[in-house]
C-alpha cells in the first residue's frame, strides 16, 4: 500500500528551464510534506517542506505547491542548474515521528 507515490521515475530538463516534480498521496491525515534531494553514494538531504495548512512555500529557486483537494504536491525548480541533477524524494509526516517516502524521481539537467 503505497501511501506516497512519485509516478515519474525520471525527468530530463534543459538547463535554465523549469523542472516540475510531482507527488501524490492517499492519506488525508498527513500534516507535513517534505522534499529531499539525493546524490549518488550520499544520503538524502532536506530541501524544502510545507505544512498541510499552506498551499505554497518558497525558498530561493525552489517552490513547493500543495493541492489538498487533489492530494497532490509538486516541487518547482527555476531556473534549473546542472547541480540540480539528483534523485528527488517526496515524504509525508504520518505521525509525530515517522516519514513515509515516495519512490523517487531522477532529475537530469542537460546543458
- Contacts to other proteins by CB under 8 A: 6, 9, 32, 34, 36, 41-46, 49, 51, 89, 91, 93, 96-99, 101-104
CB of 80 to other proteins, least distance (A): 22
C-alpha 41, offset from chain centre: 20
**Which is nearer to other proteins, 68 or 79 (by Cβ)?**
68
CB of 105 to other proteins, least distance (A): 10
C-alpha 45, offset from chain centre: 12
Amino acid at each position: 500500500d503505497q501511501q506516497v507515490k512519485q509516478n515519474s521515475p525520471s525527468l530530463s530538463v534543459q538547463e535554465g528551464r523549469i523542472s516540475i516534480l510531482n507527488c501524490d498521496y492517499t492519506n488525508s491525515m498527513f500534516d507535513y510534506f517534505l522534499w529531499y534531494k539525493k546524490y549518488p553514494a550520499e544520503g538524502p538531504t532536506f530541501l524544502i517542506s510545507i505544512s498541510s495548512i499552506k498551499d505554497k512555500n518558497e525558498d530561493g529557486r525552489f517552490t513547493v505547491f500543495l493541492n489538498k483537494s487533489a492530494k497532490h504536491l509538486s516541487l518547482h525548480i527555476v531556473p534549473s542548474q546542472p547541480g540540480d541533477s539528483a534523485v528527488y524524494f517526496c515524504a509525508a509526516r504520518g505521525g509525530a515521528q515517522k516519514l513515509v517516502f515516495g519512490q523517487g524521481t531522477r532529475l537530469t539537467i542537460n546543458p
